[in-house]
Chain A
Amino acid sequence: MPSPRYHREIPARYRLEAGKCSDCGKVLYPARKVCPACRSQEMEKVNLSPKGTVVTSTVIHVPPDEFLNEAPYAMAVVETPEGARFMTQVVDCDPATVGPGMELDLEFRLIQKEGNSGILCYGHKGVPA
């Protein structure tokens, strides 16, 4: 992943910085300019708690090339206590045990590498609470 594209995502990926609509209260991760629920442009910054609950999940057996050695791995749509939803991997457990309702802690992990000589790309993954 080219460095400039990676660099601008750092606040969201490293610190779980999100946006909260000042008008309707919807929490958006990552933050956006316009609220998709009410179109308000009044946003405040919030930090997500490093935990969440699985909404839906799968176990990827045929992965993209970058994740070849990690398969099979679980992926889930996770909802944080603030109501933000996002997609991530769930690790440090048997992937078959990941399913709706599972409680997670979010830990800082290496997500992917830009080949053998490129940058290392970090973010958060779920681990069973």
Chain B
Amino acid sequence: MREVAVIGVGMTKFGELWDMSLRDLFVEAALSAIKSAGTDSIDSIYVGNMSGGQFVGQEHLGPLMADHLGLGGVPAARVESACASGGMALRSAYLEVASGMSDLVLAAGVEKMNDGADVTGVLATASDQEEEVYYGVTFPGLYAMIARAHMEKYGTTEEDLSWVSVKAHRNGAKNPHAQFRRVMSLEDVMTSSVVAEPLRLLHCSPVTDGAAAILLCPLDRASEFTDKPVKILASGAATSSLTLADRADPADLDVVELSGNRAYEMAGVTSDDIDVAEVHDCFAIAEICCCEALGFVEKGAGKDAAKNGVTDLGGKIPVNVSGGLKSKGHPVGATGIAQAVTVIEQLKGEGGEVQVEGAEIGLAQNMGGSGASSVVHIFQGV
């Protein structure tokens, strides 16, 4: 396999973007990534998208997006793994470059969620229709059950969950792309309305429109396009049962651990080598479980990480300096790419107000469903 580098990134503002359509979002992010690499030649495109079909009634996104980018003729296809669609699109693009089949491959994630669809219902299709949705569960409900199990096993409290949200908003307030750029107090979080016990509104990521894009090429050609290439050290992916009931331990996101370990092994690094990480905090409990599964803290210690500053800027392992899905927003198909964009910017020293000093190796972890799919990428500045 060839070594692969990132040579361009792009991202729209995240939020309720009433004036932008699914294709508008995609084109803006993709053009931005292509422009930053200074090329107009693309060999292949992967579109990360969870559910254009249900959100806006549009499937067959590969040719649609290629056409609207003025790249008709280029091979293009959509990649879907629910909320991990973006991460899986990046993995597909990475594999195509690494294999030697193509040189310049674009991975772009996009989701248009605010167009009148029943968002709760659409998102629920990422869980098991027959065994979970049928009985009335929602996504917040599934993560609430994970939270209850974590509380039961490790003594995690509602306050522990709330510190994760406080940290997210503190970081997100400094991110110009974020949907909710405002600081939230512990009291704000703990008095927000209950969505699914014990999760409150401010423990949940919002409904977001947005897109993000990354352009890849072989590492040995990267200097043609950029002074600051970032190398992809590893791509690790895994699956677990779609149903929460069939997990060995509902307090444990085993899929994240499996995908993380595969990525660490491929990169030849350990969790201690990671300087900055973006993890899939679709709900506050998810960040706690992901930090444990990725080895940033011991099992059961995730509950204290945000409160004690372990995962804060300046802490042992800064997590979700972008504000995470919570504050930055969670356009589901775009999230995996947007996480990678944040990590890549950090490794290039372009993290702005939330730059982690001396960051050399970074990790992005993107998850689908209630922990049924996960993909981890590890990056290194060159």
Contacts and interface: CB of A to CB of B under 8 A. Distances in A.
B and A form one assembly: yes
Interface of A: 1, 5, 9, 30, 36, 55-67, 70, 73, 75-78, 85-89, 96, 99-100, 111-112, 121, 123, 125
Contact of B135 (A36, A59, A65, A123): A123
Interface string B121-162: 100100000111111111011001111110010000000000
Contacts of B138: 60, 62-64
Given A59-B196, A60-B141, A73-B136, A86 B131 contact: yes
Contacts of B146: 56
Contact-residue bracket for chain B: 35 or more
A64 B141 CA distance: 11
A64 B136 contact: yes
Given A56-B152, A75-B136, A61 B250 contact: no
B241 interface: yes
Contact of A61 (B148, B149, B195, B241): B195
B118 A58 contact: no
Contacts of A36: 241, 246
A86 B124 CA distance: 17
B194 interface: yes
B136 A62 contact: no
Nearest to B121: A64
A73 B196 CA distance: 9
Contact of A59 (B133, B197, B244): B197
A56 B250 contact: yes
Nearest to B250: A56
B145 A57 contact: yes
Nearest to A77: B245
B243 interface: yes
A58 B148 contact: yes
A85 B134 contact: no
Please name the 6 residue pairs, one residue from A and one from B, whose CB atoms are nearest each other, closest first.
Answer: A58-B144, A56-B149, A85-B245, A59-B197, A67-B136, A56-B145
Nearest to A8: B130
A57 to B, nearest CB: 6
A77 B250 contact: yes
Nearest to A66: B136
Interface string B96-134: 000000000000000000000010110010000011111
B245 A87 contact: yes
A58 B197 contact: yes
